[in-house]
A = this chain, B = another copy of it.
Amino acid sequence: MQQRVVLAIDIGGTKLAVGVVDGEGRVLDYRRAPNPNPPTGDGESVLQSLFALIDELGVERSELLGIGVGCGGPMLWPSGEVSPLNIPTWRGFPLRARLTEAFDLPVHIHNDAICVAVAEHWRGAGMGVDNVLGMVVSTGVGGGLILGGRLVNGASGNAGHIGHAIVHEFEPLCRCGAIGCLEAIASGPNISAWAYAEGWREGFPREQRTGQDLVEDARRGDRIALAAMRRAGRALGIGIATATVLCDLEVVAIGGGLSQAGPLLFDPLEISLRERIGLDYASPVRVVPAGLGQESGLVGAAALVLHPERYWSAD
């Protein structure tokens, strides 16, 4: 008898990815394409690109246990009406309903950062640990919480959103409207915007001063780039200290582009964290790079279907 597998989908503003994931979390087959992501329209072109990519996989419906989806937030959860910040034509788009209708299979959907956290718990740096915060530090700062061995959803499926933990009392203003959010300091665009304002790569166009550029310059010893990384690391340490104490965490796994900076980010993070953890129970916490790579979004999306008792309490 043929092995049952999951169709896993990962949807971001710049790319679409689909894969076939087995019960061990192995990605057996994989396709990736740019998201056409038009600025206006009814959103159908994005969906049609996704369907075309799934067709390329050539997986038989009869082999599938179900479909797991990670998508940029926000979304209404578990109903799966998505309004990804970076996909302007999807506003309240009924992604879960459309996939259910097209495939007549169970569809489990969650925020993409939550899928990464689930993957880290299931098969990555948080494997075998019951209390884990998985984080993505990239264009935004997101995350997911696993407590007592289960994914925490919270009231609206948004638990784990560490990017909007408050790390400073008076500034900066976050795009969410609040003051002092972690994301307003530590996301890639915000780190490089701060460095640019301080004189880094003065006069360069925006596409030549990304978070990745900043990390490279910091590696080369650029003074402002180094200060920007320290500032981001310090803010991450504060947010993680609060999450650790409040949720009694064992492991914090950090993925996303900025986590590639290694010690440039993790060293100041660790100093800041240890200054802000005084209680014995919290001090064993370990902050580590994510154990999985680019495929983690697909692996986590598959886990929503493969292990609903741990990762899918809805429906």
Contact B276 A179 (CB under 8 A): yes
Q: Among B157, B168, B245, which residue has its beta carbon within 8 angstroms of that of A161?
A: B245
How long is the Cα–Cα vector from A289 to B156 in the complex, in angstroms? 23
A145 cross-chain contacts in B, Cβ below 8 A = 246-247
Contact A277 B242 (CB under 8 A): no
How long is the Cα–Cα vector from A237 to B276 in the complex, in angstroms? 19
A247 in contact with B178 given A147-B147, A147-B154, A313-B148 (CB within 8 Å): no
A280 cross-chain contacts in B, Cβ below 8 A = 74
- Chain A's interface: helix, strand, loop or mixed, by majority? loop
Chain copies in complex: 2
Q: Residues of A within 8 Å of B, CB-based: how many?
A: 53
Is A262 interfacial (CB-CB < 8 Å)? no
Q: Mark A234-245, 1 if CB is under 8 A from B, else 0.
A: 000011011101
Contact A178 B238 (CB under 8 A): no
Shortest 7 CB-CB distances between A and B: which pairs?
Answer: A154-B248, A176-B278, A177-B278, A178-B278, A159-B248, A156-B281, A164-B245
Given contacts A158-B282, A174-B278, A246-B246, list 18 more A-B pairs with CB under 8 A: A131-B154, A131-B155, A131-B159, A145-B246, A147-B147, A152-B248, A153-B248, A154-B248, A154-B249, A155-B250, A157-B248, A159-B247, A168-B169, A175-B278, A176-B278, A178-B276, A179-B276, A246-B247
